[in-house]
Structure formats: C-alpha cells, structure tokens
Amino acid sequence: MSQLTAADFSEFLQETHGRKPFPWQQHLVERVLTEGRWPDVLDVPTGLGKTTMIDIAVFVAAAGVECARRRLFFVVDRRLVVDEAYEHAIALAGALAEPKGPISAHVAQVLRQKNDDGPALQVTRMRGGVTWSWRWLERPDRYAVVVGTVDQIGSRLLFRGYQVGQHLRPIDAALTGTDSLIVIDEAHLAEPLVKTLRAAFIADDPQIVVGPQPTLITMSATTPAAEGQQVHRADTDDQHEIARQRLAAPRRLHLLQPEVTKKNAGAVMAMTMAAWAKALVGDAQSGHVVAVICNTVGRARAVHTLLQGGDADVELLIGRSRPIDREYLLRRCYPRMKVGRTRAAGKPLIVCATQTVEVGANIDADHLVTESASLAALIQRLGRLNRLGKLTRADAVVVHDASVGPDDPVYGPARQATWQWLSTLTAPLESNQLGDGIDVSPLALRRLLEPLDSTVRQGMREPLPYMPVLFDQVLDAWVRTSPIPYPDPPVAPYLHGIDRGSPDVAVVWRSGLVEGEPQAWPSTVMEMPPSTEEAVEVSLHAVRQWLAEEESSDPLGDVEGAPQDEDPPPSRFWRLNQVVCYRGKDDVTLISPAEIRPGDLIVVPCEQGGCDEYGWNPTSTSPVLDVADLAYRGGRPAVRLGPAIVDAARRESPAIGQALRDLIDQTRADLADDTPPAAGVYRKELQRIIDLLPAEDLENPLPLARNLRALTRCTVTFTDKAPYVALLTTKGGAWVGDADAWGSSVAGSGKKMTLHVHERAVADRAEEFALNLGLGPVLVNSVRVAALWHDEGKRDARFQAMLHGRPPRVLRSGTRRELLAKSGLDPADRAAYRRAKLISGYPDGMRHEALSARIAHLHLEAGSHDVDPDLVIHLVAAHHGRSRPLLPPITDPAPETVHIDELSVTLDTGETLDWDAPRRFAELNQRYGRWGLALLESVVRLADIWCSEREEEGTP
C-alpha cells in the first residue's frame, strides 16, 4: 500500500487493540503528520487512554515523517505494581507480529529491518536490576518501546546507568540519547529530569550530532504548560460517547478528620481507614472492591494487618516488591479488580496500596479510602475509582492526619493546602454516615479548578526541589566511562534535585551465603548472576537503616527521590559488616554498608530477613525466599538444583516441589557413584515434571513452569558449590556478554569461529546497521572498517592458546592452526575459562583491543580508505567499552611477537597504552557529539554481539 495517512490510524488501532481512537488521539496523529512536530505537553485526564501514546508514536514512525523517532521511552516516576504501559506495548508488539489487517501489516513491514529475524517492535521494561544490561535492545536500528522509571532511564541517558557495568554504559547512553521520543507521564513529579534533558541537548550542538536528537513530551493533567509550549488537550472528547461516560463518572468525595495527637496519629489513622474500608465493602457477598491508598508503606501495612480476618479478602500492593513475587500476587488478585471485569456477587476484596497504584494500574474500584495528599496525587487516586463510569455512585473518603502540618514528609505543604481547599467545598463528616459529598468526576474537577489562580494551584503541588544547572564540564566528565574520573559528578541531583533523597539501591536475597565466610560470597553469587526480577528497589537510607538494625525514622513512600537523610548510621551497629555489591560481571566485590552507593545492586543472605511475599519489610526477621531460579533472564533462564528451587517450587505446586527434590537426591546418588547423568536425562525429567501441571497453568504459566519449559533443551554443569549439585541452563545462560575476554570470545551455541570469518560477519552486520540508521558514506565506511579489524589483537599466541585450550608451546610446535575469534566453549562453564586462561599465560587485565587498535593504525597507513582514521582507531579500541578515554595500563611481563602477513609487519605486544587516545576521544566527542560517538561505538559493539550469538559468517 502507499504511505500511511492520519486517516489510517483509526483502523490501525482497531486492528491492534480492537477499538477506535478517542478524538484527542486521532487529532494528535493528524496534528503531528500535518505540522511535522510533536507538542511539548499532553494534557489529558486520567482514564482517557494516555498509554495510546505508544501506538501513536509507533504509527508516526511507520508514516516516515521527520519528527518520528526509532525508540519510545515511556517514563513514569512511580514504583509500579501493575505496569499498564508495558502490557499495552506488549499487546501492540504481539499484534504487529501477527497482523489482523492491512494497516497493521503495513506498519509491521515498514518497521521490520532487513535481515532482522526478531520482532518488528521490541518492548522492554526498565526497573532496578541488571538482566537487561545490553540485551534490552539487540540492534541499534530496531524500533522499540521502553517503559521505565526516572532513575533507570535518566541514569542511562547520562552515561551512568544504575546497576549497569561501566563498560556497558555507553551503549545504553547511545540508545536513550539518540533517535528517541521521551514521554514523561505525570511530569510534575519529574521536573529535574525534564530540566536536565533540555539542558543536555541544547548543550550538544544539533548540527554535529550523529542521529536525530531526542524529542521530549511531558504528560500531566494537573500542571499548566510553560509559556511558549505547544499543548495538546482532550478538548472535544466530552462529545464522544465512551469518553463522556468516563469524564462524567459518578464519584462523590467526603472529608474526614479524626482527632489525633502526634503520639497516637499512626494508630488512629490506620484504624480509621480500616474501619471505613469495612463499612464501604458491604456484606460478605457484595462482590465490592474497595481501594485503600496510603501515603507510606508503613501505614499501608498497618491497615492491611488490621483488616485481616474479616468477611473480605485483603491484599497489599506496594511498589517496593520483587517482580517475581508480584507475578504470584497479581495472578491471585488482579483479575478481581481490573478495568472491564464482570461485577458480580461474591466475596468482596479490599486492596491496601501505596502511590504504586496512582499511575499505570488499570484498577476499577467501587469505593475508595485515601489519605489526604497533594492535589495531583488525589486526582490520580480518584482515577482508580469507577474508572469507566459504569456505577451510578462511587464514594471516596479522604482521611486527614491533622498532627502533621506543612512539614509533611511525603508531600510537604501541598497536602495541607489541598485539604484546606477541599474543606471550602464540603465540610468534614461528623458521623459515621456518608452525606452527599461533592462531585469529583473528571469534568467536575475541571470546573472546580478553572477559577483558581495560579498561586493557589501552585500551593497544592509538591514543592519543587532545587535543580542544579547542567554545565558542559559535567557532561564531559560523564562521557568518560572507562576509566571513570575522580571525583565523578553524581547524577542523582540531576534526576531528582539537590534537596531530594538518594536514588534507590536494588536488594537481592540469596541462599548459600554461609555465615562467617563472606569471602566466598561473590563467587557463590556469580554461580547465578543477579537479575532485575529478584530485586527490590529501596532508598539508600532505608537500606542502611535496616542493615544498622535501626527502627526507620523516615516514612517510606512509593515515590522516587523522596526527601531523606543520607547519612549512614554508625558502623558499629551494622547487622552485616559486608554485603556483595554487583556492578556488572566484571565488578563483583564485598563492600561495607557504608560504601553502598546510589544505584548499586547488593546481595545479602536470605537469613537476614527484610522482605516478605508483598515486598520490602525491614521489620521481618523470617528468612526470605531465594527466587533466583524463577527469573526468566530475557529468555535464558537457569536453575540451580538445590534447596532454593525446591522451596520456590512448593509455593507454586507441592507436586513439582517433591519431583524436584527427588531429582536432586537422584543426582547426588549418581555423582557419588561417579556416573553423572547426561543432559538428555534432565530434559526428559523436566518434561515429566511439567506434565504434572494442569493444562490451564501452562497456557499462562507462572515463573517456575515457564522456566522449566524453557529448560527442556538445557545443558548441565555439575557443581561443588554446596548445597547445589548441578546448574541447568540454556546454552550460555545468563553469562553471554561482551564485557570481558571470555564473554567476547564465545559463540552462542559453542561453535568455533575463525578470526577472518567472524570479522567479516561483524563488518557486514555493522555496515547494515549503519545504513539502516541513515549514516553518511564516510561513517558507514568507518564503521565497517573498524568492525573488520576489531579482533586483530587476538592474533597474540597466548590469546589463541586460550581459545584453543592448549598451552602456547603446543600451538607453536604442532601443525599451524587457523586463527580463532571464538573458542567454541560454553560461556556458562567458568571453570573451563579459568583453566584455559591459566595455561595460556595471557596477562591478567590485558586487553586485546590495544593490539587491535595498533594493527588498525598500520592498515590505515598502508592503504587508502574513505574513512575518519581517528574514528576507526577509537571504535576498534573501544569495542568492549574501554578506551573512553584510556585502556587499562597493563604491563606485559613477557611480550610476544605478532606477525601480520598481509602487511608484512611484525609487532611486539609490550606497547599496551596509547597516550594519544584522550586527545582523540575529546576531539571525536566534539565532532560527532557525546551521544553520537557512543552510537557509532554501539553499532560496532552490537554487531559483534549479534554475530557472536548467532554464529554468523561474513561474505568472502
């Protein structure tokens, strides 16, 4: 078909989601395609489908207008328990994978890159953790939707990605900082990030940046646009039948102010909110859903405890929970409270929650009990009540804690100002009976707010933090990712402001960390690298308080960057003197609690407590369930055969738990007889275990069943890491990477690959990426040439010995072997790597990139190439994330000679440091822009990873 037009969008949405667009959605597509630019601000009430921005961005990209961007980043400054934006994007990607009509088929065809065997649209969710370090986007030319938080997306864009190894950070920076559309939901919560983004990309001269600069759109129905900004509103949607029903959804708001003192406020507020939840839920067969939304995790837990044992089921939803635990929790309760459910008689449900349900949760409650909060927070909470307007009446009771004034720790003076304004509209309740209250449907709220002047409305907003000015010198420091400069400017103030608390720390609990033997903990952890699915994100201060065994002095809300004291408690009180800090596969160390940095991922023993089935619980001393074996790891799960998998399995299925216990016992017996079973035995046994599950559990499997099914084609590594007997993985498991010598020298399924074959393959793929990205001829040539020579340093006889698994003397004395680029060994077999490394004699810390860059320089001198020579040398030197601006200064104790036949040149390996690299790096950043240079590096690096995993062979 011909090029897409705005008129096609309605059919596109019908084919992909089964509905027609609201007027504001259709008008936005028409506006963007006509004007050739995006609005600065999107002002749309909650309930009118703001997540459809995802579909709009994808459709506009397929339409091919200049303002389209390849990657959409949907940013939410909340710890979400239900991520509707992510689920929406997944549904869209699925619809494009199997189009139901000509428009969606055309969009999929336009988006899918030539020779790409992956999806037309890749979808990723960024939360604290490390699973998606470089895998979150396999190709730089692929279209993608990324849903994440301010911390995770903001830190990546600024070259300091949280929980990402420093050598992988340039890839993340490139993919967030070029060709991206950044949409910030409820942007009033993320103004420091907005200011930082605008400063960063004004400072970077658009005329010298490789790839389109990011486009920023803020979404907020509660914050007026700044002067000169273009705004898109849902002005005519009240004429649309479905939109009108939602905009006029009956909601009656009531105020309640119990008598409290500073001393008893916590108990009284919790009891009052619990009592009203019981009153509103009705009888034991009402089928009602009542949402109770609290400002802090502690208060939500207190209300949840008080509600136990009644006629209603009671659940607790907090954002500070492990994604794996969340899957089990939501499977249990989400169908009973989601939008579009069938309301019927039955046991009612009370959902106690924090701010986590304000955004991204398509919850439709029959009644609401909420703490008083800022105006924006209350509007979001009301948006979870009678969301579709199907009920004739839905009541919201707002409970105010008068013992806290303008110094409210979560919302500051905005909470009290909002309460005072509401009190002018209706009097607080004086009895246990509801009155008429006030109408707070979206249309009614709009009418109530219109007469207010800007000063009054500003007073009901959370106070803005002090936002530092972003200078070029700070950006220049951040682009230096290897080695990182000292001192290194922190990114936290540029994401949340200076008077805000530190960013979060991700906490993972693991079994097998033996008390009194902390030196063995890092290697035990690395038997199964940590993943985002098993991590809880908690503020640095809260983690330090917990490790110090102090009672929390700060109320912990579910809002990112809330103000908190960052000073660590005295070290003599630590419950653990050391924790494992995981900053990437090449940076796993023991540190003291005082050394934990914002954005770190730490691993602690399960026996320390601190987490339950609902999430972070610093008062809990019960052992925490180790869920590492339930992590999906981007489709490459791994399972340790030991007690942890048995305990985790019993939560899902007692029968599976017992079957796994039997398998472990049998493996121990076989190993004792020196007859370890083959991998095929485990594959059959796993299939037998899966067959124990009911068919309905396999249609939409929970984490354990999903992983066991993926491992029916597993490899087996036996281990002496008690109490585990074996490790079951997909080939390579979670260990394939490009950050170290081993990860860069193994192929996806263990096939040996020669140096020239691999280099040609990477050159072909890098050239394809560059062409698809629209780079100019000189840049395309530079990328191809750099890829063609990127692994030349592996000619070193010792490196070849490591790849062949033979001592160098054997290689020198025997029949000449072909030069290898890939060893053919399984990257999960770390013991094989250690043996190969030991017998090779290759110096610790030495980088083959240094020799590769020298050889590339000789090639450039010997021939005529239409390239940027400095760029080629840098791309070769930086193709594993080092040399930004220097490679490690390693001394070669016994230099080897390397002969380059095609150049008739012999080099020795003693020269390992290029002192011209800092000059070259600085000039290239000026020439191509900070993010542009990182993108050129990423083209080569992602081509290398792509070819390694797929064992591609280049053209002769």
| pLDDT digits 0-9 by tens, 440-468 | 999 999 899 989 998 998 899 888 888 89
What is the rounded distance in angstroms from the CA atom of residue 363 to the CA atom of residue 383? 9
| pLDDT digits 0-9 by tens, 184-214 | 987 777 888 999 999 988 765 555 678 899 9
More confident position, 764 or 804: 764
The residue type found at 477 is A
Q: Which of 257-261, 508-512, 802-806 has the lowest mean pLDDT?
A: 802-806
Number of C-beta neighbours around residue 413 at 10 A: 17
In order of 791, 872, 941, the CA distances from 754 in angstroms are 11, 22, 18
pLDDT at 129: 42
Decide if 6-235 and 248-459 have a common fold.
yes
What is the rounded distance in angstroms from the CA atom of residue 69 to the CA atom of residue 57? 8
Cis peptide preceding 895, ω within 30 of 0: no
For residue 613, give the DSSP letter. Answer: T
The residue to which tokens 């008062």 are assigned: 619
What are 885's strand-pairing partners? 482
- HSE-up of residue 935 (Cα within 13 Å, Cβ side): 27
What is the rounded distance in angstroms from the CA atom of residue 716 to the CA atom of residue 729? 7
Tell whether the model's pLDDT for residue 618 goes beyond 50. Answer: yes
pLDDT at 739: 45
Cis peptide preceding 335, ω within 30 of 0: no
pLDDT at 630: 93
What is the rounded distance in angstroms from the CA atom of residue 858 to the CA atom of residue 80? 53
Mean pLDDT of 227-238: 83
More confident position, 503 or 136: 136
| pLDDT digits 0-9 by tens, 466-481 | 889 999 999 999 999 9
Under 8 Å between Cβ of 898 and 796 = yes
What is the rounded distance in angstroms from the CA atom of residue 294 to the CA atom of residue 374? 12
Mean pLDDT of 843-850: 91
Tell whether the model's pLDDT for residue 553 goes beyond 60. Answer: no
In order of 244, 739, 817, the CA distances from 813 in angstroms are 83, 32, 11
Q: Which of 51-65, 69-83, 178-192 has the highest mean pLDDT?
A: 51-65
Under 8 Å between Cβ of 268 and 258 = yes
What are 293's strand-pairing partners? 353, 370
- HSE-up of residue 917 (Cα within 13 Å, Cβ side): 25
Beta-strand pair 180-185/905-908: unpaired
Quote helix, strand, coil % in the chain, to nearest 5: 45, 15, 45
Superfamily covering domain 248-459:
P-loop containing nucleotide triphosphate hydrolases (3.40.50.300)
pLDDT at 742: 47
The model's confidence at residue 72, banded by pLDDT at 50, 70 and 90, is very high
Q: Which helix (H) or strand (E) holds 535?
A: strand 535-539
Domain boundary assignment for the chain: 6-235, 248-459, 500-630, 637-729, 743-950
What is the rounded distance in angstroms from the CA atom of residue 678 to the CA atom of residue 159? 44
pLDDT at 735: 47
What is the rounded distance in angstroms from the CA atom of residue 275 to the CA atom of residue 94? 44
Residue among 385, 111, 349 nearest 246 (CA): 385
pLDDT at 939: 97
pLDDT at 569: 53
Coil, strand or helix: which one is 623? coil
| pLDDT digits 0-9 by tens, 358-390 | 877 889 999 999 999 999 899 999 999 999 999
Mean pLDDT of 38-60: 92
pLDDT at 730: 79
Mean pLDDT of 698-702: 79
Instruction: For the chain, count helices (H), then strands (E).
Output: 34, 28
What are 147's strand-pairing partners? 74, 125
More confident position, 141 or 331: 141
Coil, strand or helix: which one is 555? coil
Residue among 674, 660, 687 nearest 718 (CA): 674
pLDDT at 131: 42
Tell whether the model's pLDDT for residue 657 goes beyond 70. Answer: yes
The residue type found at 314 is V
Beta-strand pair 289-293/726-729: unpaired
DSSP letters, 247-273, are HT---EEEEE-----TTTHHHHHHHHH
Coil, strand or helix: which one is 64? coil
Under 8 Å between Cβ of 494 and 156 = no
Please state, rounded to an integer, the average pLDDT across all residues of the chain: 88
Residue among 533, 571, 700, 584 nearest 161 (CA): 584
How far is CA 697 from its chain centroid? Answer: 27
The model's confidence at residue 814, banded by pLDDT at 50, 70 and 90, is low
Using a pLDDT cut of 90, give the percent of the chain over it.
56
How far is CA 687 from its chain centroid? Answer: 32
Mean pLDDT of 241-266: 94
pLDDT at 135: 66
Mean pLDDT of 406-417: 92
Number of C-beta neighbours around residue 244 at 10 A: 14
pLDDT at 579: 95
Under 8 Å between Cβ of 401 and 265 = yes
| pLDDT digits 0-9 by tens, 105-120 | 999 999 999 888 899 9
What is the rounded distance in angstroms from the CA atom of residue 637 to the CA atom of residue 639? 7
How far is CA 353 from its chain centroid? Answer: 22
Q: Which helix (H) or strand (E) holds 784?
A: helix 777-789
Output the CATH code of domain 6-235. 3.40.50.300
Task: Identify the sign of the CA torsion 675, 676, 679, 685.
Answer: positive
| HEC profile of 25-61 | HHHHHHHHHHHCCCCCEEECCCCCCHHHHHHHHHHHH
Residue 191 tokens read as 């103004």
pLDDT at 445: 92
Using a pLDDT cut of 70, give the percent of the chain over it.
90
Under 8 Å between Cβ of 560 and 355 = no
Please, where are the H alpha helices in 342-388? 375-382
Mean pLDDT of 739-751: 55
For residue 519, give the DSSP letter. Answer: G
What is the rounded distance in angstroms from the CA atom of residue 659 to the CA atom of residue 689? 7
What is the rounded distance in angstroms from the CA atom of residue 935 to the CA atom of residue 208? 13
Tell whether the model's pLDDT for residue 561 goes beyond 70. Answer: no
pLDDT at 80: 66
Residue among 319, 307, 273, 399 nearest 77 (CA): 319
In order of 71, 94, 102, 119, 138, the CA distances from 98 in angstroms are 21, 6, 11, 10, 21
Residue 207, Cβ density class (10 Å: 0-12 exposed, 13-18 middle, ≥19 buried): exposed
What is the rounded distance in angstroms from the CA atom of residue 316 to the CA atom of residue 787? 52
Mean pLDDT of 397-410: 93
Under 8 Å between Cβ of 55 and 13 = yes
Q: Which helix (H) or strand (E) holds 347?
A: none
pLDDT at 733: 53
Tell whether the model's pLDDT for residue 559 goes beyond 70. Answer: no
Under 8 Å between Cβ of 75 and 182 = yes
Non-local (6+) Cβ contacts of 236 within 8 A are 23, 24, 27
Residue among 349, 341, 406 nearest 372 (CA): 406
pLDDT at 223: 60
pLDDT at 286: 94
What is the rounded distance in angstroms from the CA atom of residue 149 to the CA atom of residue 560? 9
Non-local (6+) Cβ contacts of 344 within 8 A are 287
Residue among 529, 947, 527 nearest 751 (CA): 947
- HSE-up of residue 781 (Cα within 13 Å, Cβ side): 11
More confident position, 134 or 830: 830
What are 89's strand-pairing partners? none
The model's confidence at residue 738, banded by pLDDT at 50, 70 and 90, is very low
For residue 159, give the DSSP letter. Answer: T
The model's confidence at residue 951, banded by pLDDT at 50, 70 and 90, is confident
Mean pLDDT of 886-896: 91
For residue 212, give the DSSP letter. Answer: P
Mean pLDDT of 913-920: 93
The model's confidence at residue 573, banded by pLDDT at 50, 70 and 90, is low
pLDDT at 743: 52
First to last CA, the chain: 37
pLDDT at 9: 97
Residue among 191, 251, 244, 180 nearest 222 (CA): 191
Tell whether the model's pLDDT for residue 16 goes beyond 60. Answer: yes
Q: Under the phi-then-psi rule, with left for phi > 0, alpha for psi from -120 to 50, and beta for the rest, what region is 904?
A: left
Question: Rounded to the nearest 5°, which phi and psi values hold at 396?
Answer: -125, 125
What are 535's strand-pairing partners? 508
pLDDT at 751: 74
The model's confidence at residue 82, banded by pLDDT at 50, 70 and 90, is low
Q: What is the CA radius of gyration of the chain?
A: 29
Tell whether the model's pLDDT for residue 422 goes beyond 70. Answer: yes
